Copies of this chain bind each other. A is one copy, B any other.
Amino acid sequence: MSQIKVNTDLKALNNEIAAQNKEKLHSCGILTVDVLGSPGSGKTTLLENILPELAAKCRVAVIEGDLATENDARRIEKTGVKAVQINTNGGCHLDAKMIERQFEKIDLENTDVLVIENVGNLVCPVSFALGEDLRIVVLSTAEGEDKPLKYPTAMLKTDAVVVSKTDIAEYVCVSTDKLIGNIGTVNPDVKIFTAGKTDGEYRAEGLVEYILEARKNLK
């Protein structure tokens, strides 16, 4: 029983800091997006591809979360968007305090959208609020059609799911339609996008508009 109590207290403390983060970010007019998913689900690739379009329409900053390396922040900065890297040193998720510590490294007064890429993990990040307005789960076709059923919490506690790597679905014997159907079975209200290469060009139809619309509604 003591384990449950401790977890509850830690999560309550995290929620408190997350609420403070949200208040601070809203006071600067910033929409915050938490992007999460399994290792290799295609989170960084998605960001590399949507950031140029998003950054052309508003001012964006990125926080990258990883157990180790600064590789992802470097990849993001190649798009021209400023990125700061958090290393959790083995930790399985970002928490609100880690985000709060980055605020001094980001020009909050000149940011409209803050994108946080969480640690690659389809389980733990779901339970830790960061102060985000939107949560987007990235789920690749390579993970298999059954994953929405096997990881229901991630499907339920998100605003949107991006089904990524649609271009390799046939090589991994996955039906993107069936995968999308399984997401809808678990959460009929979630917004679903697809992302992948079509004729050699990466597309994530409607995602940038979805984020911009949420930013507009924040005002």
Binding site for B on A (CB under 8 A): 3, 6, 10, 38-40, 66-69, 71-72, 90-92, 119-124, 140, 142-144, 146-147, 149-153, 165, 168, 171-172
Contact = CB atoms under 8 A, between A and B. Distances in A.
B39 A151 contact: yes
A90 to B, nearest CB: 5
A66 B150 CA distance: 7
A90 B122 CA distance: 10
A122 B121 contact: yes
A40 B142 contact: yes
Contacts of A168: 142, 168, 171-172
A152 B91 CA distance: 12
Nearest to A6: B6
